Chains A and B, each alone.
Chain A
Amino acid sequence: MPLASIVVPAFNVSATVAETLDALLAQTFTNVEIIVVDDGSTDMTSDILDAYASDPRIRIIRQRNRGLAGARNTGIHAAKGFAIGFCDADDIWEPSKLECHIEHLLNKPDVGVSFSGSALIDDNGADLGLAQRPRLRRITAAHILKRNPIGNGSAAVIRREVFHDIAYRPSSERVRNWYFDETFRQSEDIECWLRIALTTDWAIEGVEGLLTRYRINSGGLSAATDDQLASWERMLEKLTALRPAFFARHSRAARAYQLRYLARRAISDHDADRAMEMVKASFGQSTRPLIEEPSKTLTTLGAALLLRFGGQEALRVLMRERGA
């Protein structure tokens, strides 16, 4: 049984990290090292981690704050397993998750990134009844750019060789390689997945099941949408040189999907003006989302219109009736 590593970036997560680590320690695949990177937490996170330090499966690394990408890179650098999984310190892995991905990677030597769908939970860990059920097979770079089937930062288990293939070291970095780009504070996931898809031949493939419980924080969802859009555009600009023709072909449709996603976040936050603005901008970029995913696109449009003209109450009533 080969060794697998799980990297847990932890920054001010005192409310959730214990639950996350307990779920990782309860994995059915047991030859595991759990590397918790305390990324300069200023709350009680360190004290909670101390309680886990005696477990031989857990390693705690403390560093000054470098952000999510920087914490993951430190974890990857320290990891010894043949595969490295990622679990953010507020998400929960189902007990069989690691086992499913390890089996997948062992059976399919061409797969470099193994991921799964996720069930969404709220701040209190309660099931929201919503799920990310992405496409699992024959995933191309275009799928990642447009729909990011990997979905969230706690969904993937990645063969170590993949990181070897994408490693680099900026001239300012003296200690270790970079895998995730630490100059990004958002869109760092998709930048890395896309770089894997565009520069390596590793297959990216999903396994069945909702194996991650992914926490959606309530409130403030749409607050940072400008930043999010800006970093997404920066990601696009950064990677365009790799394959100009690919981006010329797909970036408008991808931007439309990105704007639709931001519209949905604005709707969840009941920010009617923002939602309408994002929906309009999305349609302005491309009608591909309407053709490729008519139901979801029309629902987004309908919800934004309802919120705009009917108000929060109308949307709430309708959503309750739909059971969503």
Chain B
Amino acid sequence: MSAPSRPATEGFLVPPTGVLRSAATFLYRRRTFYLLLLLVPPLLWLTTAYLATLLALLTQSIYSIDEFTAQIVRTPTLATYKQLLTQPANLDIVLRTLTMAVCVTLAAAFIAFPIANYMVRYASPRTKAVFYVAVLVPMWTSYLVKVYAWRLILAKEGILSWLFQAAGAQGVLDAILQIPAIGGPSLASSYIGMFIVFVYMWLPYMILPIAASLERVPGSLIQASADLGAHPGQTLRSVILPLVMPGLAAGSVFTFSLTLGDYIIPSIVGAPGYFIGMMVYQQQGTSGNIPLAAAFSVIPIVLIAIYLALVKRLGAFDAM
């Protein structure tokens, strides 16, 4: 079986030629250079566009404003922070925003978990796809359109109050609106309404991470738990929740930080009380008090850092 002799270049040990080929070979052999090539652009972006601006923000917050000239005094001082943390009105704003963020996060988690669990464990592949689309599509819609739509839904003569009326439950709505502090003349101008809009807006950010971590819990673990005598509730507490914690933590970081930083929802829906985001917007815009605006921006960063430390302490990332 003698094959006809071939030209040497067709043998399979001859290295291929060409510029692209030799570039590929070079990259394959110089792994460090290859990594650098991949990492430098995102690192540049991260350092200049992100870390540098953050640093600029922090620098602004330790400047102060001259009350007579409204000029920024560029000498390091803690006066701005002192002003923020000692004036009751400012503290109220921080507390109001924080309370809202915590409530929204808790509610989103309680609503999102059953939805994610159904999507991942019980829905047929088709229904599951429909659910994913239903969760994602609202995120493609303009944020402002959604907020204004909610304002109409929640308005005094809006769809929701009309539905309450049609169901003969006007009294229930009135009773809800009469709750002190969180009630108001209508849902659209109460903290309850604002809360509803926040939960609606951030729900996808809670559902998706929870669903992702549920997908990674093998069905055999749940069966093993039942096999070993655990009732469904015990399986939920002892197996599913601990393993889903990283997803729950990730989702809650989204809902928590998005609520802390938002200034559009509180200015369109809800009671007139200020939120941190609105304060930043107003201080750097109308009032021109950049140092105070910067100091207010630091508050959510600190709060989220504390939140992450707490979550880590509770062991949420242990199963990662």
Verify that A and B bind, or say they do not: no
A binding-site residues for B, Cβ under 8 Å: none
B binding-site residues for A, Cβ under 8 Å: none
